[in-house]
Structure 1
Amino acid sequence: MELWPAPLATAPLHATVTVPGSKSLSNRYLILAALGSRPVTLVGLLRSRDTDLMMAALESLGVRCQVDTDTDTTVTVTPPSSGRFTGNVNVFCGLAGTVMRFVPGLAMFADGPVHFDGDEQAYARPMKPVLDGLEQLGASVEYHGEIGRLPFTITPPSALPDHRAQVNIDSSGSSQFISGLLLIGSRLPGGLELHHTGEKTPSLPHIRMTVSDVTGAGGDIVADEAARVWAVAPCAMQLPSTVVVEPDLSNAAPFLGAALIAGGSVRVPNWPEATTQPGGLLPGYLADMGAEVSFPVIDGVRYCEVSGTGIIHGLGDFDLTAAGEIAPSLAAILVFADAPTRMIGIGHLRGHETNRLEALVNEITRVGGAAQELPDGLSITPVAQDALHGADMETYADHRMATFAAMLGLRIAGVRVRNVATTRKTLPDFVGMWTAMLS
């Protein structure tokens, strides 16, 4: 909980930053590997608190996760030889949304009840839609606190449905509720027909990522996004023997965004030509703000390079439904823009590690900026540079609020970040990476 002095940028940047593997892909691959029948080696796996929590959860269920000590980012996942997960165990989720929303589905195939718990702050995160879905599939859920929240115990059904099971949930609060059920749908004897009953589908690219990953493991999902229905055929899924994890493109946002705030250029290697990650939309957003974006290939490696002059354009009404997870990074840039921005389509951010919309308003206001919550988003109105001032920034145990604060500190002297270590959730050495970028 110590205060970290966020460094001020005293000159234009000129840096190359290598970003670790994608958390979203890492934890999906870990789940899919556990659902297979043969070992899978994951190369470039993110090693962070969230992925370590996922591996620990899988090992509680009888899955072996063997880390290559030479690389630390190569992990071989071996499913239980019996094909059943171990029951009568405890799973600790920490504050990881993918653990608390993806692993409960595996309890459907356990040989006994599975108890789930997590950090105290995790008790505020909504869970009910995915648990309602599991109950519709025959599981029973016993809550040990508030209904729809951690902690709880899932008891698998005595028999899985032998017909195509129809499940109806409202996943407006998080795309992870849909993904958590799609990941297990192929394992059900009759498959799954999943209906999202809400009017909007948040973070649709994350759902498309799940569909793509399931398909890559041999699954068959037919998506009718307009009707908000996903049909999953029953099959035995199996990832290839080796899977390489893409860099986390959303975690590239603070570094590439720093080029707009401080000026100069920052580039990130191993940028994919095509991706299901929502962070793949980032270069286009930065270009709209006035950045020069290119994708040079050097010695066979494809980079995303972002250059800025320190002049940043506001975006007016800006629909960020497709990539809400990068909203904190974009908000940090837009504090210094030349015109207001209304980011909409991100009301679901109120249910992340913290209420990110409220937190962003609090922290922008804390440094003298102007921001306001909207029913479905956030408005940011730029103020004069001399109206902004240093402050001790809160992070709310949220890694993206910590990187947001560091970005503000590039142009505002005297910013100190409380509990910057929360970045270990997805960036184990954020402070070292940030310092190296500036030097």
Structure 2
Amino acid sequence: MLNMTTTSNANEPLWDAPVAAGPLNATVMIPGSKSLSNRYLILAALGSQPVTLVGLLRSRDTELMMGALNALGVRCAEDPSTPTTVTVTPPASGRFHGDVDVYCGLAGTVMRFVPGLALFADGPVRFDGDEQAYARPMKPVLDGLEQLGARVDYHGEVGKLPFTITPPAALSEVSQAGSAGEGSATVSIDSSGSSQFISGLLLVGSRLPHGLELHHTGEKTPSLPHIRMTVADLNAAGAHARADEAARVWRVAPGAVQLPDRVVVEPDLSNAAPFLGAALIAGGTVRVPHWPVTTTQPGGLLPGYLERMGATVTFPEEDGIRYCEVASDGHVKGLGDFDLTAAGEIAPSLAAVLVFGDVPTDLVGIGHLRGHETNRLQALVTEITRVGGKASELPDGLRIEPVPAGTLHSADMETYADHRMATFAAMLGLKIPGIRVRNVATTRKTLPDFTGMWTTLLG
């Protein structure tokens, strides 16, 4: 189990989380999806022609991704007048630069998606990251690359950062298992710890001489919607990817990938969770514009979850713009036994709302959150208990129980360098006076101006 780590210290600033003075009435613009932004960046780099990404999230994670691609010889050029518009130009040779260093920070999509590109580099690629990233599991994706002929040299703990990937001398030497007579390179990994292990390998599958057949050997598949997103994005780029989810097998045929020359990034629906969830905690109405009719983002499940917790959810359209509008009288219904396997990344936001629930809730199917930026399950229990709430870890999730009125109290809350723990703390502060959040700047990972957006929420 990943140990919970905190990089906080007494010198880090404390942010006073504002209390909602009354019911909310706000419209909040949400930046582009991190999951889509970083997948599009990878797919654009794998193509042969420039791709302009419109509405790209500009945050620490996407900056790290663009920095990694630049190191590999990919040019990521922003529009000077619109920084969220970025044109990605792959290397003219079609080969990525080797003998380079890639810095992953604490970004899971960087440390798990970029190593696959090293298969097509002209020399070894060295990977490193934040000290806290050394605790994040990496071995399944690296085992997969070794099965594809790469050599992985670890410079610390096996299966963790830092490491060096040396590409195979010739990709034509990649072993073929001949599954189903297709001749694809076959990889078997246990991706129970993160869907990103599967996505990271699928993204490069079409560049392999015989494609890829990937078998997930674990009993559960976490964040399956994220894998579906990867498959959909591959197919949108001209690949031929398909899934047999019942058998836990994914196949990508060999062939070129090329995104359209202009791609618009959807808003990050998981990042909408703190703002829409705030309507249940404080009461009132919160709207998020540009909500898609259909989406591959797991955050697309959020409106249904909030509705089950007592909110009224509608999708009005104004001037051709579709909104997600959440209204509540401030009463929160507990969820009982609730399977959150499909959208574990919004667990901290749902947990913040459920602290004020009327009956206990068991959020299950999220044991893999122990391997995120921090051990999120342990962190949530610690911080809920810190403010006088009642929570406990389950083998595969988290139990949150209601407490008597007046029990919840002020506290200085830790964020563990985890952006979702910071927004979780801010949500509690809507109703609990005196909440102070240490290192709220960690939200820059996906929300470059979270505190400004939170101020807008409260008017």
Tell me if both proteins adopt one fold, taking TM over 0.5 as the criterion.
yes
- CA drift of 1:128 comes to 0.1
The aligned runs of 1:207-356 (5 Å cut-off) are 207-356=227-376
Q: What is residue 388 of structure 1 aligned with on the other side?
A: 408
Verify: 1:157 aligned to 2:168, yes or no: yes
Q: What is residue 37 of structure 1 aligned with on the other side?
A: 48
Of 435, 440, 444 in structure 2, the residue corresponding to residue 420 of structure 1 is 440
The aligned runs of 1:113-132 (5 Å cut-off) are 113-132=124-143
Verify: 1:105 aligned to 2:116, yes or no: yes
Letter in 1 for 2:232: S
Distance across 2 between alignment mates of 1:288 and 1:265: 16
Distance across 2 between alignment mates of 1:309 and 1:422: 31
Q: What is residue 82 of structure 2 aligned with on the other side?
A: 71
Distance across 1 between alignment mates of 2:194 and 2:402: 30
Verify: 1:83 aligned to 2:94, yes or no: yes
Identity rate of aligned residues, in percent? 79
Letter in 2 for 1:51: T
Q: What is residue 20 of structure 1 aligned with on the other side?
A: 31
Letter in 2 for 1:22: S
Distance across 2 between alignment mates of 1:75 and 1:384: 51
TM-score by length of 2: 0.95
Classify the secondary structure of the residue corresponding to 2:93: coil
Distance across 1 between alignment mates of 2:49 and 2:35: 22
Q: What is residue 51 of structure 1 aligned with on the other side?
A: 62
The one-character-per-residue Cα deviations of 1:31-50 (angstroms, maximum 9, x if unpaired) are 00000000000000000000
Letter in 1 for 2:381: V
Classify the secondary structure of the residue corresponding to 2:83: coil
The aligned runs of 1:116-195 (5 Å cut-off) are 116-160=127-171, 161=174, 163-195=183-215
Classify the secondary structure of the residue corresponding to 1:66: strand
- CA drift of 1:279 comes to 0.1
Q: Cα RMSD between the aligned structures?
A: 0.5
Letter in 1 for 2:118: A
Distance across 1 between alignment mates of 2:117 and 2:110: 11
- CA drift of 1:217 comes to 0.2
Distance across 1 between alignment mates of 2:199 and 2:254: 16
Letter in 2 for 1:125: R
- CA drift of 1:231 comes to 1.0
- CA drift of 1:385 comes to 2.8
- CA drift of 1:69 comes to 1.5
Give the unaligned 5+ runs of structure 1.
Answer: none
The one-character-per-residue Cα deviations of 1:305-352 (angstroms, maximum 9, x if unpaired) are 000101000000000000000000000000001000000000000000
- CA drift of 1:159 comes to 1.1
Classify the secondary structure of the residue corresponding to 1:293: strand
Letter in 2 for 1:214: L
Verify: 1:197 aligned to 2:217, yes or no: yes
Letter in 2 for 1:376: D
Q: Runs (4+) of structure 1 moved beyond 3 Å?
A: none
Distance across 2 between alignment mates of 1:222 and 1:31: 19
Of 13, 18, 41 in structure 2, the residue corresponding to residue 7 of structure 1 is 18
Distance across 2 between alignment mates of 1:207 and 1:384: 41
The one-character-per-residue Cα deviations of 1:160-179 (angstroms, maximum 9, x if unpaired) are 12751100000000000000
Letter in 2 for 1:233: A
- CA drift of 1:397 comes to 0.1
Distance across 2 between alignment mates of 1:268 and 1:384: 33
The answer (yes or no) to whether the contact 1:336–1:385 under 8 Å persists in 2 is no
Distance across 1 between alignment mates of 2:256 and 2:198: 20
The answer (yes or no) to whether the contact 1:102–1:180 under 8 Å persists in 2 is yes
Give the unaligned 5+ runs of structure 2.
Answer: 1-11, 177-182
Letter in 1 for 2:74: V
The answer (yes or no) to whether the contact 1:38–1:78 under 8 Å persists in 2 is yes
The aligned runs of 1:391-410 (5 Å cut-off) are 391-410=411-430
Letter in 2 for 1:19: I
Distance across 1 between alignment mates of 2:34 and 2:456: 22
